[in-house]
Amino acid sequence: MLSTELIGVCEAAEMLGISRQGLHERIRRGLINPTGRIGKRRTMVFERADIEKIAESEAVA
């Protein structure tokens, strides 16, 4: 069974070194896609590995 670690908007933004608003802008522009939405409030979640890859590629650029 594969285990995927999900993180929320705040943690994803922190890992990328941007604000929550900056992350929402990237989502709106289609640059980052949430893995899904959970809970009653439909909170966006992301796979930690996906955000780590993006952060790593931006650090190299």
CATH of the domain at 43: 1.10.1660.10
Query: How much is the pTM?
Result: 0.88
| pLDDT score recorded for residue 59 | 86
In a domain, 24, yes or no: yes
| pLDDT score recorded for residue 20 | 98
Give burial (CB, 10 Å; 0-12/13-18/19+) of 27: middle
| pLDDT score recorded for residue 54 | 96
Q: Do 34 and 44 contact (CB within 8 A), yes or no?
A: yes
pLDDT tens column, 11-60: 999 999 999 999 999 999 999 999 999 999 999 999 999 999 999 999 88
The conformation of residue 31, written as its DSSP 8-state character, comes to S
In a domain, 1, yes or no: no
Q: At what angle do helices 48-60 and 9-16 cross, to 10 degrees?
A: 20
Number of domains in the chain: 1
In a domain, 11, yes or no: yes
| pLDDT score recorded for residue 27 | 98
The domain containing residue 43 runs over which residues? 6-60
